[in-house]
Structure 1
């Protein structure tokens, strides 16, 4: 068990400090798999499900512009993760009805028990961070 945790910690650390190209490709893959259906392939908020949602999906390419020119990394991480009670998450509204999924919970469930308690959290945070890094890279 400890070996798996150490391996996961090492992999997560490499993903955070690894090459920018790797981080962008991992983040882009994560984005296309988890976010594009609502926010659109280009992040502009026009994904296929955006037409049937109760709320509009925000244009994720404008986050820096909407935050006075500085990418709001901590806020973005918290919104993606969703486990800290950010208003966009955690409501009783089902995902398909317009509420954004709590990705931290979903990523944690995908990790299962194979990484242990601390390793599982590193797994979740790594996935959230590559998504946030990718979003920073698509700002206009």
Structure 2
């Protein structure tokens, strides 16, 4: 019995953390993203007018993806695996603020993707902005 319980503890330890902090993600968004994407996430931030490519309306990401939030695509855009040239530098321009301990988050296919804890928190917040 003790071996079985110990085995369960080891299995539980091997499962990647999936919990995300929406409140922390909201703070990160307000500090690092709202300048371009706007407080409401609609792409109407004060810097939007000077960008070559206009910021995405982040409230429409799920709608534009058949109703599922495109977590993997957004993670890769933010962490630089899918760079955006309109910033003149890797997205986001505040990239070092989004570095941190690795964390796995589940994509809609169920497959986890590794990213940093701050980006995982930001994803949780962006999902709350999605229009119905």
TM-score range, shorter chain: 0.5 to 0.7
Please give the alpha-carbon distance, in whole angstroms, between the structure 2 residues aligned to 1:75 and 1:93. 17
CA contact (8 A) 1:39 1:59 kept: yes
What's the RMSD between the two structures over aligned residues?
2.5
Cα–Cα, structure 1 residues 72 and 49, in superposed 2: closer, same or farther, change >3 Å? same
Structure 1 residue 106 displacement after superposition: 4.7
Q: Which has the higher strand share?
A: 2
Q: Which runs of 5+ in 2 are unaligned?
A: 1-16, 104-114
Please give the alpha-carbon distance, in whole angstroms, between the structure 2 residues aligned to 1:28 and 1:93. 21
1:83-120 Cα offsets, whole Å, 9 max, x none, are x2x142xx59625xxx7425555533xxxxxxxxxxx4
TM-score (norm 2): 0.67
Aligned equivalent of 2:102: 122
CA contact (8 A) 1:81 1:103 kept: no
TM-score (norm 1): 0.64
> How many residues of Structure 1 are paired with residues of Structure 2 in the alignment?
104
Cα–Cα, structure 1 residues 106 and 94, in superposed 2: closer, same or farther, change >3 Å? farther
Q: Which runs of 5+ in 1 are unaligned?
A: 1-12, 109-119
For the pair shown, which has the larger CA radius of gyration, 1 or 2? 2
The partner residue of 2:123 within 116, 124, 132 is 132
